[in-house]
Amino acid sequence: MNKNLRKAVIAGNWKMNKTRPEAKKLLEEIKPLVASADGKIEVIACVPFTNLETAINTVNGSNVKIGAENVHFEASGAFTGEISADMLTELGVEYVIIGHSERRQYFGETDETVNKRTIAALNAGLKPIVCVGELKWERECAITEEVIARQIKLDLFSITAEQAKNIIIAYEPVWAIGTGLTATPDQAQEVCAFIREQLAKLYGKETADAITIQYGGSMNAKNAAELLSKPDVDGGLIGGASLKAEDFNVIVQAAVNG
């Protein structure tokens, strides 16, 4: 495996955190720290909808890109509380997290809606970060591979190889999110390599080798370097540690060196 075939991507997922002034402050802290990663890896902050405009203005001229945390699949209409892909692109948003386990767990997101949202995002020119991952119980029952294979197949249904090159896959074992329990580097590698095999089945090896696969789940300043040194772990989707500029930067620098 050649990691040079794809871009390393470190993305913060701020979840439901930060007001606009707080968002501006955190991004002002992050910008100079990660400036040295410019041209080497992609650095993204995915922020609440209310912070998107502030965030885009704050990172203007820097190497930090801004993403949203969700997007609806319809272009417009009676979908109270939802945000369309065009609304995001009009703001200058480039990335969007889709199918995060918290959306699946608390908001009834299914593989079908993840697939529809991913297609809508791609059609609007957004780059989706599509999240997959097994529950603790599923890992204990030794069906991690079945779960992941099913998610990849359904979430990417009808998406072409050309479109797939604009997608990032985030492997986030649900048992590792916000729990302080991290997958071991070998566990992360094993599943990220398995995801790449599934992508190769769908799109061929060349496309699969070009797709960035992130690990997410209690990745932090201490464990990032080892996780990111693995051949199929091309980056990270970071929750808690992305809210601390210094910690986030340690992870960014680990990816630069990984």
> Which residues bind to ligand 13P, rule: CB under 6 A?
13, 100, 172, 177-178, 216-219, 237-241
Between 31 and 100, whose beta carbon lies closer to ligand 13P?
A: 100
CB 68 within 8 A of CB 93: yes
CB of 216 to ligand 13P, least distance (A): 4
Furthest C-alpha separation in the chain: 48
Residue 29 buriedness (CB in 10 A; 0-12 / 13-18 / 19+)? middle
Between 13 and 198, whose beta carbon lies closer to ligand 13P?
A: 13
Between 72 and 104, whose beta carbon lies closer to ligand 13P?
A: 104
Query: 100 catalytic, yes or no?
Result: yes
CB of 108 to ligand 13P, least distance (A): 18
HSE (side-chain half, CA atoms, 13 Å) at 122 = 22
Task: Name 184's Cβ contacts closer than 8 Å, sequence gap at least 6.
Answer: none
Between 26 and 219, whose beta carbon lies closer to ligand 13P?
A: 219
CB of 98 to ligand 13P, least distance (A): 11
CB of 1 to ligand 13P, least distance (A): 24
List the catalytic residue out of 100, 102, 134, 138: 100
* Number of CB atoms found within 10 A of residue 222's CB: 12
Q: What would the two tokens of residue 141 be?
A: 């029952």
Handedness of CA 16, 21, 24, 25 (dihedral sign): negative
Residue that has been written with the tokens 């369309």 in this structure = 84
Coil, helix or strand at residue 43: strand
Between 152 and 237, whose beta carbon lies closer to ligand 13P?
A: 237
Q: What would the two tokens of residue 14 be?
A: 């701020």
Residue nearest to ligand 13P as judged by C-beta position: 239
CB of 11 to ligand 13P, least distance (A): 8
Question: What string of H, E and C letters represents the secondary structure of 82-124?
Answer: CCCHHHHHHHCCCEEEECCHHHHHHCCCCHHHHHHHHHHHHHH
Q: What would the two tokens of residue 205 be?
A: 């090896």
Active site residues: 100, 172
